[in-house]
Structure 1
Amino acid sequence: MDRIISQLHQISQGTGIPITVGEAVESSTVAMGLSDQKNTLLVQGMILDQAVLFLVYNGQRALRPVVLFPQIKQSTNTPIVLLATQLSTVERREYLRHLLPFMTSDGEMFLPFMGTRLLPGLVTEQQVLPPDKLAPAEQRLALTLVMAQLIFERSPEHAQTRPELAAFSTANDRFLIKSGQRFADTIGKQVNINNRVTFNRAAKQLVARGWLKALGETKDRVYACQFNSRRLFEQIAPFLTSPVQNANRVQFAEFPTSTIADDFLYSGVSALSKVTMISDNQALPTIIIDRTQRQKVLSAGQSQLGAASGCEVQVSKYQLDGFNRLFKQIQDYPENVLDPFHLYALYQDDRDGRTQGEVEELVDQIWNGA
C-alpha cells in the first residue's frame, strides 16, 4: 500500500494533477478467481474530483488486466484505472485498443471517462514494432538488467558497494541506468557493451519495445524500467534468441585441455547435468566459447587428430563468461557453466520436452526457490 501511495504521489507531482488515495478494497468482494485475487490489489482514490478504483496487477500473465476489467465492472460502477510503472509497446497498444484506462509512473495517462487521452509529448506510438527476436546487443543489455535487478532485490547493500553495479540505482518502483557512458565504463566491460555507441544502439531498441524509458537530454539521459526482475524477464523471454552461432566437433588428447581450461563454459546437456537433475548421456561433452577463442581451440584440436576423446564446441554470438560471473552474485552457481538465462534462450524452442522443461524449471527456481 505504501508503494502505491508513493507511486501516485510521484505521478501527481509530475503531472500536476491532484490525486488522492483512499482505502484498499478486499479482492474477495470482487468477481475474480482466487489466483487473480491473490495477484490483484484494488484501492479507492480520487483523480481531481472523480472517484476511481486503482488496480495494480502483480501476476505474471501478460495482458491479464484486459480480462480483469470486465469482471470487476460487474461489481462496481466506479471507473477502474490500471496503475503500472510503465507499459511495453504491446501492452500500451492492447490497452488502448480495449479502451482500458491506465496511469504509469512515467506520466502516461489514458482516462477516457474524464476526456483525458495521453499527456502530450510523453508517448510516441511506434508504427512498426521491432523484430520478433532480440539482436545480440539488445539481448545482452536486457539480460544484464534482469540480473542487476535480482542483485538489487536480494542484496541492496551488496549492490551499492560493487563497482561494476555503479551505473544502477533505484527510485521507488523504478530501476535506473544513470547514463550510457557510466554503464559502458562499469558493467558494460563484463557483458561486452563497453562503449556508449553499442549501449545507445541496444537501449534504443529496448525503448522501442517499451521496456526502457529514456529520461532527459542526450548528455544527461537516464534510462528507467520497472523494478521487478521477474516481470522484466517474463517480458523479454519470448524474444530471446539462442546464443550459439555455430558448432563443431573437436578431438583432444584429453578434456579439458590446458589450452581451453580457463576459456570455456559448459553448455547444452553438459551444462544442464551440472545444475539440474538431467543426466548427460552424450558421448562428448558440450562447451561454448566466443569467436575470439575459436581458432585457438580448433587449432589445438587439429594437432590431436588421433585422439580418442574430444568435445562438441559451440561458438557463441558474444562473450558469455561475464554473465556467469554476474549470476554468481545472485546465487551459488558453478563457475564454468552457462548461466540459466542463456540456457533458457538455448532451449526455449527445443523439441525435446525434457530439456525444455528443465530450463524452464531452472529459471523458475531463481524466484520461487528449489
Structure 2
Amino acid sequence: MIRWRWGTVVEARREWRGSLELEVTVESRRAEDPATVRALAYPRLVGTPEPGDRVLLNLNALALGLGTGGYALVVAIPDRLPEDADVPGHVVKARYTPLQAIVLAADEEASPLRGALAGATDLEAMPVVVADLHSALPAVVAGALAARPDARIAYVMTDGGALPAWFSRTLDALRPLLAGTVTTGQAFGGDLESTNVHSGLLAARHGLRADLAVVTQGPGNLGTGTSWGFSGVAAGEAVNAVAALGGRPIAAPRISDADPRPRHRGVSHHSVTAFGRVALAPADLVMPSDLSEPLSGEVREALAALCPPHTLVEVPSRDLLAALTALPTKLSTMGRGLAEDEAYFLSAAAAGRHAATAG
C-alpha cells in the first residue's frame, strides 16, 4: 500500500504556512525510482528537515502520477526527532494512522471558545457557499469581497481532499482576506479545528464571527469516473448541514466549457449528483447571467432540472474579472487558469457575490 524509500535532504526550497518543500535524493529500490524528488514536509508533524538529514519518504503520489502536488511526503526524520508537542486538546485526527495527530477542537472543554460554542446551535441565517473543488475558493472570495469589501469570510474545509490545510498554497495566500479557516472531520491544520461540518460551520459563525462562509474540500479530488464515486458528493451533504443549522445554503455548481471530459462540460455531473440527488434541503443555485451561448442555454437547462427544491439564481459575473485578476493567488483548476476556463471561475465568483448580497 505504501512505497517506502529512504532519502537524504539536499536543500530546502520554498516554504509556506505549515509546509516546507525540499529537494531529496532517493535510495532506489526499483529501476523506475527517480534519483531526486520534490518532497513535502509538515514541520508540525515531523519536525523541520535540514540538508544532510536522512528522511523516510512515502512515494505513492509520484508512483501514481497524481496531478495535485506530485510530491514525495516526508514521514519522519528518524535520527532527529522533534520535541513532544503538548496540546491541551484531546481530539485525534488522521485517526489510527501512523501519523494520527492530537488537536484542540474549537468547542471542547479546554478551548477558549468553549463558552461561545457550547450552546451554539444556529447559524443565524448566515449565507454559506458550497462548492465541489478547492479551486473554487479564491473565486468565491473574490466575488464576495467585490460586493462587500468588509465581509468577514470563513473557510470551512472538509476532508474529501488533502487532510492538512497546510498543503494549500492557495489558502496561505488568501489568509489576509479571510477571517480564518476551520478544518473539519479528519482534516486538520486550520485556525480552528472541528469534529464535523456541522460543528465547523458553528465555529465559523460564532468562533470566527463570520458574515458568510465557504465550504469546499481541500486540494485534490477523488474521482473514479462513475456516477457516485467522487469525493465531491459531500457538497450535497454540506447543503443539508447548512439548512439544518438555520443557515442559507448557496450552491456553486461546477460549470465549464473548457474541460475536455464530456461529463464535466456545461454543468459537471458531480454538481448534478451532489446538488440534485444528495442535497435534500433547498438552496440558491447560482449561475452567471452573462455566460455566452450555447453554454448559457445548456447550463440554464441543466440547473432548471434541479429546481425545485432549489431556486435558480442568475447573477452578473463578467465585471468580476478584475477582482479575479487582482487575487493574491494564481487561479487554477485541473491545470487551467482564468484565461483557459473563465466560465468556471466566473461561476464561483457569482456565487460569492450572491452570498455577500443575500438578504
* TM-score of the alignment, normalized to the shorter chain, above 0.5: no
Q: Which has more radius of gyration?
A: 1
The alignment's TM-score, normalised by the length of structure 1, stands at 0.31
Structure number with the bigger relative contact order (C-alpha 8 A, sep ≥ 6) is: 2
